[in-house]
Structure 1
Amino acid sequence: MRTLKSDTLLIASCIIMLLSCQSKVTKEKLGKNIASVLGQQSGVFAVAFKDLTTGEEILIDERESFHAASTMKTPVLIEVCKQVVAGKFSLTDSIVLKNEFKSIVDSSVFTLDPQDDSEQELYNHLGEKRSISSLAYDMIIASSNLATNLIIELVDAKNVTQTMRDLGARDIQVLRGVEDAKAFDRGLINTTTAYDLMVIFEKIANGEAVNPEASQIMIGILSDQKFNEIIPAKLPKDVKVAHKTGNIAGVNHDSGIVFLPDGRKYIVVLLSKEAKDEKAAIAAMASVSEMIYSYMMQP
């Protein structure tokens, strides 16, 4: 026999289920919310999100071309691992630290200004040797421009771009290292799209960037990222994010893999350019990352 208590519990259960259904955010609603948040900012934004369990995607201006800034260092890392597996060199091999590089325009020599580099310690050790693994690590986690140029000189930018094509990233263009002023003046810049970064991070997440072992090495390096103002900024501290940022004047990017406590993974890429208020743009993209996380974590 049903009692008043059982009826009350049944009604309460139905109400909870109804409220849960009403509050559940759909993919379409999330996309609109993201567009609304970014639409309130000055500048141009692109978003690429992919749930690696379901294949569900949200893409906003995903083919828009952006100055790659330091996001191009992820493709360079992939190429390093590819050449290691091919036997061209070992991660334990060493490179002599130098601050002289050749412009892709006319091979004239240029140097990097330590004050323009986010990692300056290496400049105190010019003439000394550093392992390829340590330089690749500094290139990613501290976004060292000096390490980047040394690594690109080793693997060749043309090889990086070709590897991106082989992985299915049709628009990423890695032409050169950092601070090649003559190339910059001629419009020869490294470019990317949100879609292409999503493609290569999916390859890394699935163990398909070079091979599973190399992909795990890359995830380990990317997980130590020091710059965490966008994707991880508003996520719980125990959520693992393997990512690479990029920024120059008016340009702020972040791209990577988010690992959820239950084992699921998703890719998120947030790109911006022409932002008049960079702090506001960064905060807005951090909010978008939080919205995507909340979407993934809802019952």
Structure 2
Amino acid sequence: MFRKTILVFIFAFCAIAIAAQTSDDETKVLDAKIKNAIKGFKGDVWVCAKNLDTGKDYALRADEQVRTASTIKLPIMAEVYRQVEAGKFKWDHKLTIPAFDPGGGSGVLKEFTPGINIDLKTAVIMMTVVSDNLATNLIIETITADAVNKFMAELGLKDTLSMRKVGGYESGGLSTALKEDDSLRRFGLGRSSPRDMVKLLELLENGKVVSKEASAEMIAILKRQQYKTGLGRNAASGVQVASKSGWLDRLRSDVGILYTPGGRIAMAITVDNMETANSNIDNPGIQLVWKLSEILQEALSK
């Protein structure tokens, strides 16, 4: 009996060791593929990805703090849901289109006639689905950047900060963190890390942001994303993508979940400090985000 127990123990130990070695080898292969893909890229790259069903993951500079660009709108959306759930605002709360807003850039609300009202729910959808900057500014005026930051801290996302409204330091809506630390200006609209963003996506997918129902609604909004040149580019038939992208001068970023046959894969990819700035679909940064997402999807969905 004792001998049988020892044999069972040895067999189990060997199986675990082999599995660990296989996992180790797979990570090395994936790491080599990622580094080969970014070889020669003129800029910096940060990556974090996790299969939420198997636990397989990959990280490259994932704990470093990066400029978020518009991906900070995901944490902002989460705080709106929290405040509505808490009864501070209702979804039909009215927001008025101003005569002027410094946000500019992406979105369609800037084309609306000043004085027109939209409801809070519409603003959240516009902010997320078409990355509307005016919608974002109206929301920050309503809920405050400080409230966003407090909620992210409560979720354990220590690297994530909403800094201000869209349109520069003078646009207003400054967070207390930005007022007290001028060095944070370099992050622009927001700061986070790839690992923080993947954690937030995992919390959402598991129904742990605000409530199960609120989390599901936010995921549904992310699935309506109109900018799919990064994670959602050429997605295979049947693969849904829930994502939020961001871009600035020399930065491109995308965070989201790919619902693949091999599992739900959460990803956060940022490329920054590119040599040149251009906004076309062939931008080398967004091309790299797309390429990396395909490599990660193939490796982590096995």
Could you tell me which of 265, 280, 298 is aligned with 1:294? Answer: 298
Moved over 6 A (4+): none
**Offset of residue 237 of structure 1:** 4.1
Residue number in structure 2 paired with 1:241: 241
In 1, distance between residues paired with 2:99 and 2:156? 34
- Say if 1:99 and 1:57 are closer, same or farther in 2 by CA, change over 3 A: farther
In 2, distance between residues paired with 1:43 and 1:130? 40
Q: Any idea what the Cα deviations from partners look like across 1:56-105, whole Å, max 9, x if unmatched? A: 221100122222110110000000000011011111222122255xxxxx
- What secondary structure does 2:270 align onto? strand
**Offset of residue 179 of structure 1:** 0.6
Residue number in structure 1 paired with 2:139: 151
Residue number in structure 2 paired with 1:126: 114
Residue number in structure 2 paired with 1:166: 154
**Offset of residue 276 of structure 1:** 2.0
Residue number in structure 1 paired with 2:275: 276
Q: Any idea what the Cα deviations from partners look like across 1:260-297, whole Å, max 9, x if unmatched? A: 246x3121111011112561221122111111222244
Of stretches 158-167 and 51-60 in structure 1, the one that deviates more from structure 2 is: 51-60
In 1, distance between residues paired with 2:75 and 2:219? 13
Give unmatched runs, 5+ long, in structure 1.
1-21, 101-110
- What secondary structure does 2:158 align onto? coil
Amino acid at match of 1:239: V
In 1, distance between residues paired with 2:165 and 2:56? 35
- Say if 1:234 and 1:30 are closer, same or farther in 2 by CA, change over 3 A: farther
Any residues of structure 2 matched to 1:214-229 within 5 Å, and which?
214-229=214-229
- What secondary structure does 1:199 align onto? helix
Figure out how many residues of one structure are paired with residues of the other and give that number. 262
**Offset of residue 250 of structure 1:** 0.2
Residue number in structure 1 paired with 2:164: 176
What's the RMSD between the two structures over aligned residues?
2.1
Residue number in structure 2 paired with 1:8: none
The TM-score, its normalising length taken from structure 1, stands at 0.82
Give unmatched runs, 5+ long, in structure 2.
1-21, 173-177, 278-282
In 2, distance between residues paired with 1:220 and 1:285? 23
**Offset of residue 47 of structure 1:** 0.2
Residue number in structure 1 paired with 2:87: 87
Asked which structure has the greater CA Rg, the reply is 1
**Offset of residue 122 of structure 1:** 4.1
In 2, distance between residues paired with 1:252 and 1:191? 14
The TM-score, its normalising length taken from structure 2, stands at 0.81
- What secondary structure does 2:47 align onto? strand
Of stretches 77-86 and 118-127 in structure 1, the one that deviates more from structure 2 is: 118-127
Amino acid at match of 2:266: I
Contact 1:38 1:285 survives alignment (8 Å): no
Percent of matched pairs sharing the same residue? 26
